[in-house]
Each structure stands twice: as structure tokens, then as C-alpha cells.
Structure 1
Amino acid sequence: MPLHVPPAPAPALRSVLTALGSPTAVREARTPSLRAVQGPVTPELPLPVHVLDSVSAKGVTATRLAGWRFLIRSGDRSVAAAETRLTPDGWAFSHFFEGPYIPSTERALAQAETLTQAYQPRLLSVPGLYMLTLWLHGDPTADGAAGHPAATDLLVPLAPAPPGIAAHRPHQVADLLPVLTLRATPTPLLGSPA
């Protein structure tokens, strides 16, 4: 079933296109693969990036939209990613980057394409665990910038995943969220040193 990628805000896309057209922005980026590219590059697959701020005792999640991430393609491969963020003046380019999350995102998206249900892909960051997941939202027509994970949505941890959590294995939110909550909750210190 094809994924229904939500449209990015036009100003977010324009800010990435402007940065890609700026020799200074590309040259100063910490992305050797982007600086070394010969030929045109294009921003593709815009995904809203949500941050998991908290989980209540009832399992209700509090997320916020942090930005939009675009994979930067050159020919048939992604060479980097670009992220935008919301400022008081609207959407603005934030930075280029590369690393393991780019091929991991592509792999997770390819896996999601083989599912029988239609989903809307998003990214969900879990800062307390230094974890990023592909969030497959069950309502493909929803506003990609709004909402929170439903119990039946799928989360696919991207590599590198935290120890004990398998990357690229889809989990329903209802199954994975309690594990993430438990792992992200600091353990109180018992007693004091002697």
C-alpha cells in the first residue's frame, strides 16, 4: 500500500531550496557527501518531525511539531538531509546533516511500502532515549503537523536504536510506548553512599 506523504509547508520547502542554491550554505555544511556531489540535488520525501515530550499515566502522549526533514537526493541515492524549523517569522532552513539515520529512514520507508494498510509517514523523536522512529500514522489524510500517536499507529525504531530495542521492527504504539516510558524515566537513587 503506498504511503501518503504529507505536503510540507511551501515556505519550508522554499527555505531548503534556497539553502541548496547557496554555495555558502552547502560549503559550510558538515556534510562532506553533500559538498562532494557533482550535479543537481533535490529535496524529497518531506517528513514532519515530532518530538515526544511526555507520556501520561493513561498512555496519552504529548508531542509537538519540531520541524520538517527532507532527504536530499543526488541521482538515485540520498546524500544528506535538510531540516527546517518554525520561527516567529515562519518556516526557516535549520541545517544539513548526514549519518546513519538517512539510510535507516529510507529502509524503514521501503519496509512501510510493503504493508497492506495505508499510512502517513512521520518522524517521532524520543530525546530521553536518543531515539528516532518512523511513525506510521493510521490516518493517511490527517494534517501531518498535528496530532499525537494513536494506540494502533506503528513506530519503527531507526538505526541506531537504543540497546534492547530492535531497529526496523514495527511496533504498535500501545506496545512500544510503555517500554519507552519505562526506559526514559530516571531511576531514583536508593540510600546514600556509606
Structure 2
Amino acid sequence: MPLHVSPAPAPAVHTVLTALGSPTALSEVPTPALRNAEAPATPELPLPVHVLDRITAEGVTATRLAGWRFLIRCGERAVAAAETTLTPDGWAFAHFFEGPYVTSTELALRQAETVPQPYQPRLLSLPSLYMLTLWLHGDCTADPGAGHPAPGDLLIPLAPAPPGIAAHRPYRVADLLPILTSRATPSRLLRPTA
């Protein structure tokens, strides 16, 4: 089933296109694959990046939109990613990067295309566990910048995943959340707010 990729905010797209068009920005990036690319670089597959700030003892999650990430394609493959962030003045280009999460994101998206149910793809970052997942949200009409993982949503951990959690294995949120909750250290495990 095709994924329902949401369009990124136009100002976020503009900041990435401006950075890609800037010889100065490209000459200073720490991404040799992008800096040395011979084919034109184009931003594709915008994904909202949500951060899981806390997991309570009861398994309740609180997420926030941190930015939008674009895979940067040169020719037939993604060679880097670009990230934007929301500032008080609007969307701003944050940085280019390369590494395992770029290829892992591409692989997880291809994997998600084979799932029979339609999903809205997002990224979910869990900084306390040094973990990034492809979050397949079941409501394709939802605002991509809002919400939290629903029990029936799928999470596909990207490689490298924390020890004991299989990368590229789809987990229902209801199944993975208890594992994540048990992995969080007591200082990171928060009590619910009233």
C-alpha cells in the first residue's frame, strides 16, 4: 500500500533548496558524498521528526515536533539528509548529514511500502535511548506535526538500534512501548502530570 507522505511546510522546503543551491553551504558540509556528488541533489521524502520527550511509568508518551528531515537524492540513491528546525522566526535550515540513518531510513520506507494498511510516515526520535524509528501513523489525514503514537501504529527501529531491539522489524506501539519503558532509567521515567 502506498505511504501517504505529507508535504513539508513550504518555508522548510525553501530553506533546504536554498542550502542546496549555495556553493558556500555545500563546500562546508561534513558530508563528502553530498559535497562530491556529480548528479544534481534534490530533497525528497520529507518526514516530520517527532521527539519522544518522556515515557511515564504508565506508558504514556509525550512527543513534540522537532523539525522536518529530507532525504537528499543524487541520481539513483540518497546520499545525505537535510534537517530543518522550527525557530521563533519560522522554519530554518539546520544541517546536512550522512551516515547509517540515511540508508536505514530508505530501507525502512521501502519496507513500509509492503505493509497492506495505509500509513502516514514520520520519524520518532528517542534521545534517552539513542534510538530513531520510522513511525507509521495509522491516521493518514492527521496533521503530520501533531499527535502522539497510537497503540496500533507501527514503529520500525532504524539501524543502529539499541541492543536487544531488532532494527527493521516492525513493532506495534503497544508492543514496543513496554520494552522502551523498561529500558528508560529511573531518572528518565517520569510520573504522570495531573
**Range into which the TM-score falls when normalised by the shorter chain:** over 0.9
Aligned to 1:126: 126
CA contact 2:56–2:181 (8 Å) conserved in 1: no
Structure 2 unaligned spans of 5+: 188-194
Aligned to 2:29: 29
Which amino acid is 2:129 matched to?
Answer: L
1:24, 1:5 → 2: CA distance? 31
Normalised by the size of structure 2, how large is the TM-score? 0.94
Aligned to 2:191: none
1:64, 1:35 → 2: CA distance? 32
Between stretches 35-44 and 52-61, larger displacement belongs to 52-61
1:82, 1:153 → 2: CA distance? 26
1:186, 1:167 → 2: CA distance? 25
Aligned to 2:39: 39
Please say which structure displays the higher CA radius of gyration. 1
- Measured against aligned partners, the alpha-carbon deviations of 1:26-52 in whole angstroms (never above 9, x if no partner) come to 111110000000131100000000000
1:117, 1:58 → 2: CA distance? 28
Q: Is 1:109 the equivalent of 2:114?
A: no
2:58, 2:10 → 1: CA distance? 37
Identity %: 77
Give the alignment of 1:1-194 within 5 angstroms: 1-186=1-186
2:54, 2:81 → 1: CA distance? 27
Structure 1 SS opposite 2:99:
coil
In the comparison of the two structures, how many residue pairs are matched? 187
1:158, 1:135 → 2: CA distance? 10
2:84, 2:100 → 1: CA distance? 19
Normalised by the size of structure 1, how large is the TM-score? 0.94
Backbone CA RMSD of aligned residues:
0.9
- Measured against aligned partners, the alpha-carbon deviations of 1:132-179 in whole angstroms (never above 9, x if no partner) come to 000000011111000000000000000000011000000000110111
C-alpha deviation, 1:59, in angstroms: 2.2
2:13, 2:141 → 1: CA distance? 20
Which amino acid is 2:160 matched to?
Answer: P
Which amino acid is 2:157 matched to?
Answer: P
C-alpha deviation, 1:57, in angstroms: 3.2
CA contact 2:57–2:181 (8 Å) conserved in 1: no
2:16, 2:73 → 1: CA distance? 13
Structure 1 unaligned spans of 5+: 188-194
C-alpha deviation, 1:58, in angstroms: 3.2
